[in-house]
Amino acid sequence: MNRREFLKHALTVAAFAPMTSLVAKEGLDGDKSSEGKGRQITRRRYKNTALTVPLLGFGMMRLPRLSPDKPDIDYATTEKQIAMAMEVGLNYFDTAYFYHDGLSEKCAGDLLSRYPRDRYYLVSKMPVRALKKEADVERIWNEQLARCKTEYFDFYLVHNLNRERWADTGKFHVYEFLKRKQKEGKIRKLGFSFHDEPEVLKVIAEAHPWDFGQIQLNYLDWTIYRSREQYEILTKLGIPVIVMEPLRGGALATLNPEATAVFKKADPAVSTASWALRYAASLPNVLCVLSGMTLTEHLEDNIRTFTDFQPLTDAERKTIEAALAAYRKSGAIACTECRYCTPCPAGVNIPRVFGLYNQAKTTGNTGHFRLVYDKMSPDEKASACVDCGACLKKCPQHIPIPEILKKIASEMEAPQKKIAVHPVPDYESFV
């Protein structure tokens, strides 16, 4: 983002009256959800109601695992993280039907049900891509209630909408079903999450009186993924925004050395992740920023960022602009490691291959890449792709997966070939 875009952005943001307002102290929450003592993270008020939401949400998509390649969750660590979160009023827990192959909802049920139900917000989503017929909507809903050990959801979303899934949402009367559940008191706030072009978002957002919308937003995607237009559409319609992927699957927490140096020069005491989280949370119509905090250190760092939250200053925005310019030179792929493209019928471990490749690109450490990559089974490697195209429709980032895998195979699987460090083509050329 160049300086002109930044200034334009600041003016645009100022033009919108905020749907949400900062509530920095405890005791203002009509939901009794921040009764802990000591430091509390900043909350935002939902429109002009007594409902307040922590500005940082606990994403349950990337929970600590028992083994890196299996979905099984490390309950002992997660339990400690939840306790730490609850202590500081971080009580918005975002799970979904598919996270950790279904184990995330179960984990939310097992671990959160130990707390009084009015002390936390439980959030899940209707997986439209799993629906084959209308009866599946009720079957999955009931399954989710049972997994989550709850009788209601505080926030509930139609999951991962795009043009095709929006058509299925209509075909299977998903909205009508969920609206009935809301009237029965089983859903407090009804929204949707979204991955597609702003033009599609506008159609969806205007179709119903949604309580909130969840979009991918971070300083890298503000222009290349058109997050800015998405944010503005929701804001104009008076729909509060929940942010997902503020760190772009962790990529904005581990930038290349050049970009990291820009941040460290500006403030050696704060993490690279903190800059990205503050970027998203500084937007006035953002109700909550979700972060999947696999390591306890991530959680601790994020709690620091969101305690007495400070929006970005103009000088800090310029620092992000400079770091972004340095990051663009690294050549990383736009993969967020969300795993939506899995399983690949040929067995390629797409998120793992892309994750390792990005690590090599951003750190310049090809040795680590070879160490791990060479131990992967031949089926999991980039060269195992048979170009069937099955993954293409599933990737919310619109990454041309087989094309990139071919490039990685030729670049990384040739014996002792050094990784070429060069600027990757602009993201738009990938979509």
Site residues, ligand SF4 (CB under 6 A): 335-341, 344-346, 348, 350-351, 354, 385-391, 394-395, 397, 399, 401-402, 405
CA distance 206 to 311: 30
Amino acid at 94: D
The nearer residue to ligand SF4, 95 or 397, going by C-beta atoms, is: 397
Query: Cα angle vertex 252, ends 277, 354, to 5°?
Result: 140
Q: In angstroms, what is the minimal distance from the CB of 87 to ligand SF4?
A: 32
Cis peptide before 246, with omega less than 30 degrees from 0?
no
Q: Is 161 helix (H, G, I), strand (E, B) or coil?
A: strand
Q: In angstroms, what is the minimal distance from the CB of 355 to ligand SF4?
A: 8
The nearer residue to ligand SF4, 148 or 338, going by C-beta atoms, is: 338
Biggest CA-to-CA distance, the chain:
63
CA distance 256 to 269: 18
Q: In angstroms, what is the minimal distance from the CB of 398 to ligand SF4?
A: 8
The pair of three-digit structure tokens given for residue 310, joined into one six-digit string: 């400070």
The pair of three-digit structure tokens given for residue 176, joined into one six-digit string: 């009508």
Cα dihedral across residues 119, 287, 239, 225: positive or negative: negative
The answer to whether 54 touches 42, Cβ cutoff 8 Å, is: yes
Q: Measuring CA to CA, how many Å separate 337 from each of 62, 151, 353? A: 10, 32, 10
Q: In angstroms, what is the minimal distance from the CB of 417 to ligand SF4?
A: 21
Q: Which of 95, 99, 175, 94 is nearest to 131 (CA)?
A: 175
The answer to whether 1 touches 321, Cβ cutoff 8 Å, is: yes
Question: How many Cβ atoms are within 10 Å of 200's Cβ, its own excluded?
Answer: 18
Q: Which helix (H) or strand (E) holds 327?
A: helix 314-327
Q: In angstroms, what is the minimal distance from the CB of 297 to ligand SF4?
A: 23
Q: Which helix (H) or strand (E) holds 124?
A: strand 121-126
Q: In angstroms, what is the minimal distance from the CB of 339 to ligand SF4?
A: 5
Q: In angstroms, what is the minimal distance from the CB of 353 to ligand SF4?
A: 9
The answer to whether 181 touches 187, Cβ cutoff 8 Å, is: yes
Q: In angstroms, what is the minimal distance from the CB of 101 to ligand SF4?
A: 14
CA 428 to chain centroid: 21
Q: In angstroms, what is the minimal distance from the CB of 305 to ligand SF4?
A: 25
Query: Please, which residues have CB within 8 angstroms of residue 56's CB and are 6 or more apart in sequence?
Result: 41, 90, 92, 277, 281, 288, 289, 291, 302, 303, 305, 306
